[in-house]
Structures are given as structure tokens and as C-alpha cells.
Amino acid sequence: VEFLYCDLASMKSIRQFVQQFRAKNCPLHVLVNNAGVMLVPERKTEDGFEEHFGLNYLGHFLLTNLLLDTLKQSGTHSQHARIITVSSATHYVGKLHLNDLQSRCSYSPHGAYAQSKLALVLFTYRLQHLLTANGSHVTANVVDPGVVNTELYKHVFWVVKVVKWMTAWLFFKTPEEGASTTIYAAVSPEMEGAGGCYLYNEERTESADVAYDEELQRRLWTESCKMVGISDEASRLP
């Protein structure tokens, strides 16, 4: 196991990480996008992005795009490279505000978090469409890990923390249980060559209806490219 530092809240750090990884000339067979914050007070990343959107979504968007060439070179017809992005059931209540992705007009920690998780689902579906159109041996899927007992809840109200402490053993998954669907998506033979899926409890299920809006997927992708400063070659594809 080797460790390379990468701060998903920093575009500079992401670019430096990718540069270091590429210098190793290693193949890349599995990429898991799993960093995140939840219900943080209104604040910005060093690049000026609202933190939920910047870290949970844009960081993964940039990282994935910068690693796509390596992933494409690593995948084969019989063994596709795999991209797994961790979203949340919260995306079902999320609304994507294309004119206010930074939640400047009216900030709500819950709304900002849900929007970032919906963006990850839209991103995954658009990415899979582009990978298929290019004939790439890479698949992209999105995972809902369920309610997991981790430090992600440290910004919730104290009452919720008390309830969580009292009921976690009954209602919350352990970190190991929460990781099971991600691991399934990463290594299961059943997922070989299968992309564009929303997975929960190691099963394919339906995501929010709005996530299947292809025009919304395209618009978010184009806007995301502008925000992180990369070329939007995908805009020329259907």
C-alpha cells in the first residue's frame, strides 16, 4: 500500500496528486470517489466554492476527469476499469440550482448537501454515456452506502447526536457494512461491463427521476468544466 496526499477541497492539490500518480506509470483499475462533508456551516474552499459542492462534487469531478486517460488505458474488453462514486439517499430530495450552484442566494446546509449528492448521480450517468459513446473499457456507477456510523455526522444538532449515540447500534450500519456496496461495485464479477447503475445494498435500484434528465446532465457537466478549468470535449458528443 502506498499513500499519496490529496485534498479534494483543493483544485491545486488534486492536480498535484494526479501529477504524482501519473509519474509512477501505474495502471488504474478502480477509482472510488468517497470524500465528503455533511451539513457544514456556510463556508468556502480555498478556490471559493461552497464547501459541499466544491468538496463533495467538484473535487471528484476534476479528479475523475484528470484520471480518465489512465483509466481508459488500464481497462480491457474482458476487464473494464471501474469508477465508483458514493452518493446518498439524500439525493432524492435534492434540487440542482444551475443558476446558483454555490447556494449564494439562500444557504441551507441540508439543501447544499442534497444538491451535491444529486450532482454526483447526474455526473455518473453523463460520464457513463460519454464512456459508452467513446467505446471505452471503463464503467461508472454510483453507490448509496446507507446510514453509516461515521464522523460524517459531527455537524448535526446536538439532539441528533444524542439520538445517534443511543440508537446507532440498532439503525446505523458499521463502516464495514457501509463499505460493502462500494466493494461490490469495485470487484464483483456481476458488475463487469455494467455501468450507469445506482446501487444500494449490493442491488441495482432506481435513483431520483430528475437524475435521468439528460439535458440537466449535459448542462451540469458543461458548467462543471468551466468551474474547474478543464476542456469540455464532451459537449461535442450527443
Known catalytic residues? 113
User: Which triple of cell numbers denotes residue 222?
Assistant: 458543461
User: From CA 5, how far away is CA 3, in angstroms rounded?
Assistant: 7
**Which of 116, 127, 148, 7 is closest to 64 using CA atoms?**
127
Q: Are 35 and 116 in contact (CB under 8 A)?
A: no
SS3 165: helix
How far apart CA 62 and CA 212 sit, in angstroms, is 22
Q: How far apart are CA 72 and CA 29, in angstroms?
A: 9
Distance in angstroms (rounded) separating the CA atoms of residues 192 and 187 = 8
CA 79 to chain centre: 22
Q: Is the separation of the CB atoms in 32 and 186 below 8 Å?
A: yes
- Among the listed residues 120, 104, 105, the one whose alpha carbon sits nearest the alpha carbon of residue 55: 120
